[in-house]
Structure 1
Amino acid sequence: MNDGRRRRDWFVIAILVFLVLLITLVFRELLNPIIIAGALAVVLIPFHNGLKKHIRPSLSSIFITTGVVIFIVVMLLVSFGVIFANGEYIQEVFNSIFAWLSIGGGVFGMSVNPFVLDIQSIVDSIIAAVTGSIGEILGATAYYSIIFMILFLFLYLCILYGEQIFHQIWALVPEESRPKLSILNVLLSDTLYSLIIVHVGIALIVFIAALPFFTFLGYGHVLFWSIVCAIFALIPVFGPVIIVAFLAVYALSLGDYFGVALILLIGWPLLCAIPDWYLRPVFMGKRSKMNAVLIFIALFGGIAIMGVMGFLYGPLALAILTGVYRILFIEFCGENQSFHSKNT
């Protein structure tokens, strides 16, 4: 008797799953750009939905993807432009530090020969090294160019078809399972959204906070230091600390102990501790409704284990585990309550 349901061919399904796993294994190097593209698409799809009301969806996706590329390129050009424009000042800073290290035969027992940092000789050494390994550099450049091209092509596709594909997959989920799985869906989307928006927002906050701090510090080149701090703020935990430590050493080389105190007592909390240890996890927790301490552990634990990409994978892993916990709690305890208002 036919009950209206089509019998699934599990043999064919098993073969298809095997093929997908095999292809994933072979092309595993592309997983990072695909995941990054998907994460960006989650944030950008709402803008796409608004823009496609006025123009074709394909053009909307092209405009948004192009806008992301232009934004990244402009930020890189401005950052490098400011840094190179302050080349002489950077040389003075390093010369001051090395001169301080060489006073009296060294510092902390280190025997450091006096010398002046010669930027030109360093540039010549870099050119010689580049010339000697030009083949490897060209190969690496071509490889990363292809990776970035793939990332942005996937971003275009994810913006254009991501919502449609999601709804097609969601339609396969049984009706009785959707309320529970929607917990996981909401957690992942909110975590991705908050992660990217907060990550860029923290860098902007650090830049704005750095402007008055470096103005008050009185070393000049306020825009340069502020941009450098904002760039390093994109590297959670370790980035801003490097700049603050470098500044403290520079202040010591100048004999400016008041400046050292300002850097350690005001600069470190303002540019490092508060943005990374408080604002980043708290802002992410407000959107994803997860405990700020757990987000702190996920961010820094992910970075410690997986490097820079850990800042993405750590919170995603936490979102999945939190969703699993909430679903299992509902399933086994019979509680049909919503967890969205709780900080688990």
Structure 2
Amino acid sequence: MTWVVRRMVIAPLLVVGMVLLWITLPLWLIAASAASPILPGRLRPLRIMWVAIVYLSCEALLLVVLFGLWIASGFGWKLRSPYFEGIHYDLVQGTMWVFFREARRVLRLRIETEGPAPDAHPGRPILVCCRHAGPGDSFVLIHTLMAWYDREPRVVLKDTLAWDPAIDVLLNRIPARFITPNPAEGARLEDQIAMLATDLDANDAFVIFPEGGNFTPGRRQRAIDRLRKLGMERMAQRAEQMIHVLAPRPGGFLAALDAAPEADVVLVAHTGLDHLVTVGDIWRELPMDKRIVMRWWQVPREEIPESREERIDWLFARWEQIDAWIEQNRPVDLTGRS
């Protein structure tokens, strides 16, 4: 029944709220301008308020367009057709382009990409494995994946994100899975992941975060303790040596590999958002004035081991490589502050 609350209550309230916000915008601008000299950071309230308004406006407009597409598709009859699926991917890319354009301009946020050219191995689908750290890194990843790699992503993400009404509606119309990370239901979750990774086209990208959650020191220690509890002392020792990432949970990645035997693997590391853990961290850093660097490694399928144990060891080795790269590429503050 939660979907009823999301679709019938939260979504309409968001649209109505944005209409009221734009009507009362002069009052918000006056309040933010008055607070700017008091709070640290150059025009911090105004800049943050504008980015928030852009994001929420994109969400509200997207919900209206999605409702119109539902009607145009025969009240949902043709929503899963290739034609309407393509329209929804275009909506994702267009919305991301608008939001990140404003984020770059207003927050002085720079996103730089390093790695192989997008056509390094044309004609193959890819399995994208990304570290998970910092607010919004999944949005940065999807935006870069669509803009730079020109791929249509299939995403595995936490079910809590379904409470965002636009994400809820949109990702229920294109290939995606909302899951609840739970070790007790590992087999069922792996089956869901395998279904999503099946029949990937040459322009598809299956996206997964093997760590299962955003990096925090507490989660890192719990991941190490979990490995020891499972009797995997060698892996626990390797996880202790990785200080910037969580020990990867290989089940979902292995399921995707088996379901997509033709796909290459792309690993993604990033810096710039990983030190933002608490709400206080985010408030202190915004406006960010930061450079986010994303490093991509594309591994041909022929280089992926065949056995399960070798694949787990390979994944840990790659995560150790990501950890080392992060250590060598700490976030850069564009304001010159340390």
| TM-score relative to the length of structure 1 | 0.24
Indicate the structure (1 or 2) with the bigger Cα radius of gyration.
1
Which structure is higher in strand share? 2
Relative CO higher for 1 or 2, CA cutoff 8 Å, sep ≥ 6?
2
Which structure is higher in helix share? 1
| TM-score relative to the length of structure 2 | 0.24
